[in-house]
Amino acid sequence: MEDLYKQTLSLVKPSSSRAAFVCFNLWSDTKFDLATVYVSDAQYNRNIFFGTSPQAVRLYLLYNHLFMQTLVYVFIIINLALALFEDPAVVPLPIWATSTIEIICLSAFTVRMVHYAKVIPRDKFWKDPKNICIIVIVTLSFIDLTIYGALKATGYFAIRWSRVLRPLLLVNVTEGRQLRRAFRSIRNALPQISYVFLLFMFSVLVFSLMALKLFGKRGLLTIDGSPYFTDYLDIVFDLYVLVTTANSPDVMMPAYNYSVFFTIFFILYIVINTYTFMSFFLAVVYNNYKKYLKEEVRQLVKARRFKMCRAFSLLRETCGEGGEPVVTQAKWNHLVKLVKPNISIAHQELLWSVLDDQNKGHIGKFAFVQLADLLSIQVITVKSQPHPIQICFPSMYNSSVSRFIRNVVHHRMFVYVYDLIILVNAVFIGLDEENPVVSNAEWDFVLYAGGYTSRQILDIVFILRVLRLIRLVDSIKRFRAIINTLIKIGPTILTFSQLIVVVYYIFAMVGMELFKGKVQFFEPNSTSPDQEYCGNPLLKGTTFAKLNYCKNNFNNVVSSFIVLLELTVVNQCGFTAVTHVSARIFFVLFHIVVVIIIINIFVAFILEAFLVEYTVDKSDLQTSLEKKIEELELNVQQDGVDTGLVDAMESNDNELGPSEAGKQKPSLMFKIASRK
Amino acid sequence: MEDLYKQTLSLVKPSSSRAAFVCFNLWSDTKFDLATVYVSDAQYNRNIFFGTSPQAVRLYLLYNHLFMQTLVYVFIIINLALALFEDPAVVPLPIWATSTIEIICLSAFTVRMVHYAKVIPRDKFWKDPKNICIIVIVTLSFIDLTIYGALKATGYFAIRWSRVLRPLLLVNVTEGRQLRRAFRSIRNALPQISYVFLLFMFSVLVFSLMALKLFGKRGLLTIDGSPYFTDYLDIVFDLYVLVTTANSPDVMMPAYNYSVFFTIFFILYIVINTYTFMSFFLAVVYNNYKKYLKEEVRQLVKARRFKMCRAFSLLRETCGEGGEPVVTQAKWNHLVKLVKPNISIAHQELLWSVLDDQNKGHIGKFAFVQLADLLSIQVITVKSQPHPIQICFPSMYNSSVSRFIRNVVHHRMFVYVYDLIILVNAVFIGLDEENPVVSNAEWDFVLYAGGYTSRQILDIVFILRVLRLIRLVDSIKRFRAIINTLIKIGPTILTFSQLIVVVYYIFAMVGMELFKGKVQFFEPNSTSPDQEYCGNPLLKGTTFAKLNYCKNNFNNVVSSFIVLLELTVVNQCGFTAVTHVSARIFFVLFHIVVVIIIINIFVAFILEAFLVEYTVDKSDLQTSLEKKIEELELNVQQDGVDTGLVDAMESNDNELGPSEAGKQKPSLMFKIASRK
């Protein structure tokens, strides 16, 4: 071990080890391994109480290995995708095939669970609800699989009810932290949401009573000839749907046709319930989201600091003036190399110079704790290589013609002209459709080349051509804040789409069991007489059939997802015509869960992201890192165009002259990624 | 004047004039008048620079008189209501009649304007844009009226284009402060909204290009047999409408029926444009609303303080220790009496005791400035009169039986039982429809009594019966915060509805000129063959006609408003089938103005109101007023039920005993209104 110490001491460069004292402490691989785990746990916000024995640490490292994590998600996706092949299937596979795949998946989850149980202490394992959840889900799936197999083998009717549980694995897996956070946020908002919801339902019920009194006795008829507003429960449902604006003019028309004064009732209803109460839901969700977010961030920061302190206490040495515990640069370098193996030396030096501002050669606890945050800030290392022509033909590169060309290319007008070309190109994409010469030439060529698949390839090429336009918009400064928000939202959209998948999957499974085969889709060239009412006599003459909505059904998992999407967007509830009460309950439940809760969380999230982008400044640490980069003159000239390119280039040239040769400044530059 | 001084000095009660020194200053009626105007201007946030001569002040008082203000609004409403009688009319009146009424209205506005010009200095008058606006509107209306009359008299075609300007009077009238603030808030948000809108339109255009490329060449047909997604502008419109979710499944169905993979395009579109961009609009509006609100409040407080300082400098006297300027209680009392003539002496004393905490008999500038805020806090004076039975039959009232009854009535259980009775009553209202005995008896009686009008009266009675249920909900503590928010929103809803009226009116006027008579409504018992396509051959076979939407037309101002409401709620744009391009532009413009801007402001406003209700505490002043009320033991026992009624009653009895007789404490109690 002393060998190692000497070895690493020699790594410390003269420039940074100018501190006059030497610290004595033994360091071991084990300690470094443990410290590495603490730092990377802090960096990725992992909160797992693992054992500290060398073996446990090694198991824990294996558990957190990217390959293992990817494998878990692959198995989860395979398990979820089974719905494509199980009855009612998109691509039918025999039961033995899907069952075998499912058993493999479930076994994989079991193995992963056993691994986890080995990593953390036994009492912690059994106290963690997510472990219990996974064990219950896997057990129930095995039981269901056995029962289903047995029933099917003997020819009985059977339901694969455990499929509803599958998406819950996504939530309870160790890596699903963000998703669990989202669900916790929903759970925390639930009490307040339910109070508003009760009041809202009370309002709907009172309005329904009024509607019954106002319209029930007038003998009005709806458009399909049925009595209008005579049954209390029907009125409640109709008015509930009015909140979703799905049946907006229809539900009002008979009363409006009878007397114009009755519209006052509906206007009041829409103002109070559709607008005010729906805004209340958003307000409650937003309020809770903000409150909860603050609390979560506070706790994350606390946990991160705690872990960094543990890492510090493993590596600290008590020495120097005042006897304060410190960590030397040698140890720090070793640690950083372990945490982030592919970090460049320049980047590492940059980070150290941010922490060790006074160039002491060691840092205290306060500075050390910031390491995790520093590593989280994405710094892009830009290598400013000389232009290939400059290397091969230096005289040509430095000729006045070449300088002129370079200046032209970097000039503001050139950028504008380039943008204009993109725009003209886009117009041509739109126009060439009309131009038979261009268009047919393209299409003929492609069709000759190989028919349908090439056609699809061409579609993709066309889309990529159109996407070039985004470059144009990004060059306009005003739009950048908006686009930045869009980009920032990106990662959280991933969490959000997982949330949506979990909810959709559960509703799709239930919906398929309830409604499969009720609505049939016939290919356009079929001659079946059932085609015009989607194969269900109950739909004869309904708007649903007339508008050819037959493909909006629950006959397989893909079309179920699409129906649910349609329900989310506009709550097109034509399918309630088929099976009466269950469909209505299904519809209302879906509306409450997805539209009232989840969509509002999405809106709240975007609202907050947007407000933060417009109001909050960068973190202190990010600012000090940027300052350091500027101080060391390593910053990339970002807006050469804005500051007058020629000036910037010349001053760069001047800087390159007197720079110290040993620090490789000219060839490496940094910029902070999020700053764009 | 010295008479007056002595006279008012004698008004100062011994209890409050215990200060050892006497201040000497002359006071005049003129000064008090001016101070009164400043204080009430501060109280009602009026910002009018009036002349300070006695005559100008008197003119200004007349200008602000409630009667004059009411009169202005009456004329505005009459002027707006003229649309009911003008062609296309709900109730047709001859042109000479409507013109005469309009001339009267316009003259009234002119008189009011002249009055205003006399009140404020000439240079201020011409610098104020709202005055210029009113003058321009009135002049244009007169010109339009003349041209229209002349053209009609000679039998030419003429349009009353100045009707569009009418609602603008509502904005530019002196009293329309709140409405102007709302419009200013919109104007301030416009630049940011327009950046997001441009980006949003860019996204729609790019998606439309993609759609053209993806679907244009496939020869797909829509449900009514027309080619699907082949014309670029049609695609742009269809995809814009998809953002409003109005044509949600329809626009997707042909592509979906062709291949399931094309739904990916629509899902992407919906996620990006319908959800993300629409949330962006809300975020931008909300952000601006908050920012602007803070700035407005800051300026209002500043202006209020400035006016109170001017009032103070009119009434101050330099005397006492330290030579600080002060206002004596006598002057203060006189001022308060002038500002709020119907204030009770007890209330006045309460306010004074809040300001003059140390009972000096005079207050400094800091305390004086708070007067306007204090007057804004609504304090309800409750006279605790003894029960009539207590006066007439004291022995009976104090008997043990009576005490028992009183205890029972005030008991918690009694409240529950009462609530239960209301609930049962509500259920019966719902049920009696089914019960022929109850129901028919009621209806027969009413029909016998006088036919249709009684029927309407009965409707109202029924609704009032149902509304009793609200009392039930209000008794549940959890719901009170929500209901409080609802109540708080009330006054601003008024501003908001004015905003809506202005925008709707303008769109209704334009819509009527563009689309009147295009769609016809036939009474249900008519036998016209045109009935099934709303009198317009273009609507033959469209969903619009099939769903019997004929009454959704622009044939008069009332049905125009209802169509606009429907457009706001669900953007049912069936009427675009009738007149092609103008209807589409009209529809998109309306959507941008009403849904993207105004509805988002409404949501932002409710969001903020809700968040404030949940997070912000009462103002300091309100707290100190409440403290004072409690200190003086004048507070009303609010939740007798919660604190155990019997205890509260007994302690009340005890308090009544040793109270000083002179201060009338037992018979008067206060509570702060907003506290509920």
Q: Where are the domains of chain A?
A: 2-25+319-384+622-675, 54-173, 182-299, 392-475, 480-615
Helix (H) or strand (E) holding A363: strand A362-363
Residue B504 above 60 pLDDT? yes
Side chain identity, residue B550: C
- Look-up of token digits 């030439």: A441
Local structure of A221: helix, strand or coil: strand
Lowest mean pLDDT among B63-77, B103-117, B124-138, B324-338: B324-338
Residues 6+ apart with CB under 8 A from B201: none
Q: Do B249 and A483 touch (CB under 8 A)?
A: no
What's the whole-number average pLDDT of chain A? 77
CATH number of B54-173: 1.20.120
- How many angstroms separate the CA atoms of B156 and A462, rounded? 55
pLDDT of residue B448: 46
Q: What pLDDT, in 10s, does the model give residues A90-126?
A: 888 988 899 999 999 999 999 999 999 888 888 888 9
- How many angstroms separate the CA atoms of B382 and B344, rounded? 11
Q: What pLDDT, in 10s, does the model give residues B24-64?
A: 445 577 788 888 888 888 888 888 878 778 888 888 888 88
- How many angstroms separate the CA atoms of B72 and B386, rounded? 44
Residue B663 above 50 pLDDT? no
pLDDT of residue B386: 67
pLDDT of residue B619: 61
Q: Which residues of B25-50 are buried (b: 16+ CB within 10 A; e: fewer)?
A: eebeeeebbbbbbbbbbbbebbeeeb
pLDDT of residue B215: 84
Instruction: Give the mutation candidate from A206, A250, A267, A487 for the B interface (greatest B CB count, under 10 A).
Output: A206
Task: Report DSSP state, residue B221.
Answer: B
pLDDT of residue B428: 67
Q: Residue B632 — very low, low, confident or very high, per pLDDT cuts 50/70/90?
A: low
Residue A669 above 70 pLDDT? no
| DSSP string of B293-361, one letter each residue | HHHHHHHHHHHHHHHHHHHHHHH-EE-SGGG-EEEEHHHHHHHHHHHSTT--HHHHHHHHHHHSTT--S
- How many angstroms separate the CA atoms of A99 and A104, rounded? 9
Q: Are residues B469 and B422 in contact, defined by beta-carbon separation less than 8 angstroms? A: yes
Q: What pLDDT, in 10s, does the model give residues A312-367?
A: 888 887 765 667 788 888 888 888 888 888 888 888 888 888 888 777 888 888 88
Q: What pLDDT, in 10s, does the model give residues B237-278?
A: 889 888 887 777 778 888 888 888 888 899 889 988 988 898
Residue B291 forms contact with A (CB below 8 Å):
no
Residue A280 forms contact with B (CB below 8 Å):
yes
Task: Report DSSP state, residue A598.
Answer: I
Considering just the CA atoms, what is the radius of gyration of chain A in Å? 32
Instruction: Give the mutation candidate from A446, A565, A613 for the B interface (greatest B CB count, under 10 A).
Output: A565
- What integer is the mean pLDDT of A559-583? 73
Residue A650 above 70 pLDDT? no
Backbone angles phi, psi at A557, to 5 degrees: -70, -30
Q: Do A282 and B603 touch (CB under 8 A)?
A: yes
Task: Return the half-sphere exposure (C-beta side, CA atoms, 13 A cut-off) of residue A183.
Answer: 15
pLDDT of residue B540: 75
- What integer is the mean pLDDT of B109-118? 92
In angstroms, what separates the C-alpha of B48 from chain A's closest C-alpha? 35
Q: Are residues B613 and B488 in contact, defined by beta-carbon separation less than 8 angstroms? A: yes
pLDDT of residue A185: 84
Lowest mean pLDDT among A186-200, A519-533, B216-230, B391-405: A519-533
Q: Residue A67 — very low, low, confident or very high, per pLDDT cuts 50/70/90?
A: very high
Nearest to A209 among B252, B429, B485 (CB): B429
- How many angstroms separate the CA atoms of B616 and B620, rounded? 11
Residue A161 above 60 pLDDT? yes
pLDDT of residue A618: 54
Q: What pLDDT, in 10s, does the model give residues A177-202?
A: 888 888 888 888 888 888 889 889 98
Nearest to A569 among B245, B282, B283 (CB): B245
Residue B428 forms contact with A (CB below 8 Å):
no
Residue B20 above 60 pLDDT? no
pLDDT of residue B110: 94
More confident residue, A647 or B334: B334
Query: For residue A430, which of B205, B403, B305 has the smallest C-alpha distance?
Result: B205
Task: Return the half-sphere exposure (C-beta side, CA atoms, 13 A cut-off) of residue A505.
Answer: 25
Number of Cβ atoms within 10 Å of the Cβ of A417: 10
Q: Are residues B209 and A429 in contact, defined by beta-carbon separation less than 8 angstroms? A: yes
Residues B551, B552, B553, B554: is their CA dihedral positive or negative? positive
Q: Are residues A508 and A83 in contact, defined by beta-carbon separation less than 8 angstroms? A: yes
Q: Residue A459 — very low, low, confident or very high, per pLDDT cuts 50/70/90?
A: low
Residue B85 above 80 pLDDT? yes
Nearest to A196 among B470, B482, B524 (CB): B482
Q: What pLDDT, in 10s, does the model give residues A579-592?
A: 567 788 888 888 88
Lowest mean pLDDT among A232-241, A278-287, B46-55, B555-564: B46-55
Q: Are residues B214 and B265 in contact, defined by beta-carbon separation less than 8 angstroms? A: yes
Residues 6+ apart with CB under 8 A from B162: B137, B140, B141, B143, B144, B145
pLDDT of residue A646: 33
- What integer is the mean pLDDT of B406-434? 70
Q: Residue B16 — very low, low, confident or very high, per pLDDT cuts 50/70/90?
A: very low
Q: Are residues B499 and B182 in contact, defined by beta-carbon separation less than 8 angstroms? A: yes
Residues of A in contact with B572 (CB under 8 A): 248-249
Length of chain B: 676
Q: Residue B23 — very low, low, confident or very high, per pLDDT cuts 50/70/90?
A: very low
- How many angstroms separate the CA atoms of B639 and B641, rounded? 5
Q: Do B566 and A249 touch (CB under 8 A)?
A: yes
- The CA distances from residue B43 to A19, B133, B373, B377, B428, in Å, are 69, 27, 7, 10, 49
- What integer is the mean pLDDT of A431-452? 52
More confident residue, B147 or B395: B147
Helix axis angle for B29-43 and B278-315, nearest 10°, is 160
Q: Are residues A8 and A32 in contact, defined by beta-carbon separation less than 8 angstroms? A: no
What's the whole-number average pLDDT of chain B? 77
Q: What is the distance in angstroms between the CA of the first residue and the CA of the last residue of chain B?
A: 45
- What integer is the mean pLDDT of B106-112? 94
| B664 conformational bin, left if phi > 0, alpha if psi -120 to 50, beta if neither | left
pLDDT of residue A648: 33
Q: Are residues B311 and B38 in contact, defined by beta-carbon separation less than 8 angstroms? A: yes
Q: Are residues B516 and B554 in contact, defined by beta-carbon separation less than 8 angstroms? A: yes
More confident residue, A230 or A269: A269
Q: Residue B651 — very low, low, confident or very high, per pLDDT cuts 50/70/90?
A: very low
- What integer is the mean pLDDT of A244-268? 84
Q: What pLDDT, in 10s, does the model give residues B202-235?
A: 889 888 888 887 888 778 888 777 888 888 888 8
Query: For residue A288, which of B248, B610, B345 has the smallest C-alpha distance?
Result: B610
pLDDT of residue B453: 54
Residues of A in contact with B203 (CB under 8 A): none
Length of chain A: 676
Nearest to A482 among B195, B443, B570 (CB): B195
Q: Residue B113 — very low, low, confident or very high, per pLDDT cuts 50/70/90?
A: very high
- How many angstroms separate the CA atoms of B147 and B158, rounded? 8
Q: Are residues A389 and A397 in contact, defined by beta-carbon separation less than 8 angstroms? A: yes
Q: Do B274 and A610 touch (CB under 8 A)?
A: no
Q: Are residues B526 and B551 in contact, defined by beta-carbon separation less than 8 angstroms? A: no
Q: Are residues A112 and A151 in contact, defined by beta-carbon separation less than 8 angstroms? A: no
Strands of A175-268, DSSP E = none
pLDDT of residue A109: 94
Nearest to B611 among A283, A566, A599 (CB): A283
Q: Residue A132 — very low, low, confident or very high, per pLDDT cuts 50/70/90?
A: very high
Backbone angles phi, psi at A573, to 5 degrees: -110, 40
Angle value at C-alpha B164, between B158 and B169, nearest 5 degrees:
135
Residue A429 above 70 pLDDT? no
pLDDT of residue B6: 41
Alpha carbon A253 to chain centroid, angstroms = 43
In angstroms, what separates the C-alpha of A206 from chain B's closest C-alpha? 7
Residues of B (549-588) whose Cβ lies below 8 Å from A: 549, 551-552, 558-559, 562, 565-566, 569-570, 572
